[in-house]
Amino acid sequence: MILLGLDPGLGTTGWGVISAEGNRLSHVANGQIKTEPGMQLPRRLTLLFEALGAVIRTYQPGGAAVEEVLGNSNAQSTLKLGQARGVVLLAAATAGVAIGEYHPSIVKKAVVGTGGADKKQIQAMMAHLLPGAKLAGPDAADALAVAITHAHHLASARALARRVIPS
């Protein structure tokens, strides 16, 4: 199955595509979508939507996962991040792709082993888990981590479903 991981941001949205075959994961592609801070917000959101649509059409994922938004002390930044996240969700949903959502600490714990991991630790683990993958940047690494987390959760759900005995 091809899975798309997304790390939303208005300035930079990271995306990562992996292939999950059983417990085997392999890197397909990754990148970052950037918008210019000087542009009007509607234009930035439109560019993000269109670029994600192109990624989805190119890789045709069977599932997608998006990192949840953490609030911060700057309400305006949190609002803009939430708007970008909404566009990311809309792009996947419009394409008919099923979406999982994960808290950043869940993603960090899934790939590094601790919910407090930093960006450098995530990048190091991506190099270890997806050997040979050239990372487009820290947001792309985060997106790949989200995709890997989703792959693990889907595999666990399938295993659990096989163990449930019908009544």
Residues contributing to the annotated binding site for Mg(2+): 7, 67, 139
Residue 120 burial (CB < 10 Å; 0-12/13-18/19+)? exposed
Active site residue 7: yes
CA-to-CA distance for 82 and 19, rounded, in angstroms? 28
CA distance 24 to 31: 22
Which one of the listed residues 68, 118, 139, 142 is annotated catalytic? 139
Burial 80-107 (b: 16+ CB within 10 A, else e): bbebbbebbbebbeebebebbbbebebb
Identify the active-site residue in 21, 36, 50, 67.
Answer: 67
Tell me if residue 68 is catalytic.
no
- Told to judge if 67 belongs to the known catalytic residues of this protein, a careful annotator would answer yes
For residues 75 and 54, give the distance between their C-alpha atoms in angstroms, rounded to a whole number.
Answer: 31
- As annotated, the active-site residues are 7, 67, 139
